[in-house]
Amino acid sequence: MPVNLPTTLLRSFVAIVDSGSMLNASEQVFVTQSALSLQIKRLEELLQQSLFLREGRRLSLTPAGDMMLDYARRVLSLHDEAVAAVSSGRFAGPARVGMVQDFAETLLTGLLAQFSELHPDAQIYARVAGTAELQGLLERRQLDIVLGFGAAADPLGIATAAMSWYGDAALVDRGVLPLAVLETPCRFREAAIRALDDAGRPYRITVETPNLTTLRSAVQAGLGLTCRTHLLLKDVAPLDDPRLPELPRVACILQAADGLDVATQRLADLARETVLALQEPVREPVLA
């Protein structure tokens, strides 16, 4: 009888190689590290070959593992192609989407609701983090789609938005401007500080938080001014005060992994459509 190699074992094997560690791979294939270790042990038993050399926590491929990697990729590629063809694009999942907090609070519910209507059996993994962290997960094949922020000229940009100042207008009167910011790395924090430094305007950070909800609460409570797009406070007008320095525009970026299945590509398309619908309305000039 020929040996049957379950695709789950092959997928876990490839995930470990691509992500570089058991920890990263466990997040990618949605099993615990102990379960992942047992899967690899089972695969090695079926092949009667060791696939990894273990030196402490460091893993490297044996010659058999190096040979098996190429075959595993080809088997999984053909498997996924067959599933997509026979199921006529029905969801095979899971779809793994990452987005910054601004998008998560503004569009996550609507986006996933639309996707769920199209693919009721969908499995979705959603990760909320900073753009740089999400792009790293995408490079390690732990995410399929990333929605984040970049420089205005970023080639991945699908729309641009104006950065604006938000907060209690009375705070502008202070000699030292109080700021509410997210922890580094944060594109908006950097833009605000650079603009104030260039303008020679004194400031101090009064609120620093990793959480966008806390930042919004601090701004609404009058604890500091912040720099953000209209996605943060959609019902609040930005400050229009000539004493505040101008801020640059920011790009809303959409980045997707290669070779998405039909359903996950549809999720990427829905994300693009949703982001484009969030752009600021065009304000008509006021005629005297």
Residue 273 CA, chain-centre distance (Å), reads 17
Mean pLDDT of 109-135: 80
Gap between the Cα atoms of 160 and 240, Å rounded: 20
CB 118 within 8 A of CB 262: no
Q: Which two tokens stand for residue 278?
A: 């969030």
Higher-confidence residue: 141 or 238? 238
Residue the block writes with tokens 């922890």: 183
Gap between the Cα atoms of 102 and 20, Å rounded: 30
pLDDT for 31-68, tens place per residue? 788 888 899 999 999 999 999 988 776 788 999 999 99
pLDDT for 160-203, tens place per residue? 888 999 999 999 999 999 999 998 888 899 999 999 999 999 99
CB-side exposure of 103: number of CA atoms within 13 Å?
Answer: 30
Distances (CA, A) of 90 to 83, 121, 265, 277: 9, 9, 12, 26
Report whether pLDDT(280) > 60. Answer: no
Report whether pLDDT(234) > 70. Answer: no
Gap between the Cα atoms of 74 and 69, Å rounded: 9
Which domains are present in the chain? 7-86 (1.10.10.10), 95-157+251-277 (3.40.190.10), 164-247 (3.40.190.10)
